[in-house]
Amino acid sequence: MEISSHPLPIFQTPAARPRDPTLDTLRGLSIVWVIFVHCLYWFPHLAHGWPALFKSFFLLEMPLIFFLAGWSNALARRRSLREFYLNRLQRIFIPYVLYAAICLGVVVLTGNALGFGEPHASPVRALLWQFLLPFSVSGFSVAGDCRLLFLWWAVWFVPIYLLVVCAFPLLHSLCRRGRKNTLRLLGVLLFANFLLLFVTDKTVSPLALYLVKNFCFYSFWMTLGVAFQTHWNKEEISDEARIASREKRARKIACRVAGVSFAFLAFVCFFDLQKMELRPKFFPYALDMQGNKFPPNFIFLAYSLGVFSLFFCARSKILKFLNFLRSCGTLKIFDFLFRSYIKNGYAIVLFHPFAFVLLYVFIYNFGNVPTRLARGGLILDFVFVFVVSALLGMAFGWCEKIRLFRTAGDKTPRHSAQEKGGTQ
């Protein structure tokens, strides 16, 4: 079915741009980071005491993904609003439905072979229900065997991403009206996240509060990505002195943002405003960012903004290191696998739980778990899941390209950095 072209709406860029290799590399890195974080939390690595607190400081993957989504969507080819929404909805929903169908089929067909329970038993119904309502909210989630949980632990972001993407045209339109309007929009989203600190699920519906908090938090990061592309990245400066000066000024701003963010974080978590003294313990907000992430609150926003600012300052060195690994003759296999993370990011995010299922079954049947964990199990887990997830991306990357309804823009060559690969 063809959809006729419409006039270019205000949120669209005037023309498609060539692919941005920096954006591609960061997109691949963000998906790899998702895999690493899930290795930290889906298996009992660093599970107690200070190590458990320390590993929560790696939780930057989702803010980075939504920042890159704003950046990449701002690079999109021209589309009407109708075409934009139709394209995005198909790109998000079709792979998701296919993944859900495959998960249900695997559970029904394998049964006890993978430890999911008897075919047609309660795990099947539980999994089906979880895909219909993929929210990690108390009272809205189902419990089950760990291998069953793997299949839907990562799908919570799908409805959240869908909500934020639906707001993208408005966010982009506001950002294009000037830097002052962009700063006002970011300020409004910051203030909204701050106000939500004082709203509890005792006064509003837990599900509604969960969605609002996630929407405000990740809309901030998508807006920041749009602002980066609109007011920073699109400027073409040929003078090396001006480039160096702009970069130096940006790093100073990023360092100040990081300082303010970490100072606020320390103040809230350690200082008692009523007694005007240091808290004897972390209350009511803990430094454990995993607890602040679901749903994301202003504490997690302050933390992620601080870490992201440091990441921004070090991005050139990080990119150089990744490019070195990809170009190293003895590590050609890394480049081969990393390309899958760039091209098939969304498919990897959806299907990588099967890598954890395989690893879990392998450990359960053939491995001494305590001994393995004591001998660098985290590294072994990450290498295994990294390789298998890349192969799963190659196997299922085609599902990202399925279109039931073709738009006028789909007929033209894909030049924009937004169109190929990655979680957008």
Q: What confidence category does residue 227 fall into, taking pLDDT thresholds of 50, 70 and 90? A: very high
For the chain, counts of helices (H) and of strands (E): 19, 4
Flag whether pLDDT at 7 surpasses 50: no
Structure confidence at residue 223 (pLDDT)? 96
Contact (Cβ atoms closer than 8 angstroms) between residue 23 and residue 416 = no
Cα maximum dimension of the chain: 67
> Residue 47 and residue 37: Cα distance in Å, rounded?
13
Contact (Cβ atoms closer than 8 angstroms) between residue 32 and residue 341 = yes
Q: What percent of the chain has pLDDT over 70?
A: 73
Query: What does the pLDDT look like over 111-154, one tens digit per residue?
Result: 555 555 444 445 555 666 566 656 544 433 444 455 666 777 88
Residue 238 exposed, middle or buried by CB count within 10 Å (0-12, 13-18, 19+): exposed
Give, as one character, the DSSP assignment of residue 399: G
Provide the β-strand partners of residue 2: 406
Give, as one character, the DSSP assignment of residue 281: S
Flag whether pLDDT at 176 surpasses 50: yes
Q: Which residues contact 239 (CB under 8 A, 6 or more apart)?
A: none
DSSP code string of 102-117: HHHHHHHHHGGGGTS-
> Residue 257 and residue 255: Cα distance in Å, rounded?
5
Per-range mean pLDDT, top range of 127-141, 186-200, 210-224, 235-249? 210-224
> 3-state class of 345 per DSSP?
helix
**In 111-177, where does DSSP find H-type helix?**
122-132, 146-153, 157-166, 168-175
> Residue 323 and residue 316: Cα distance in Å, rounded?
10
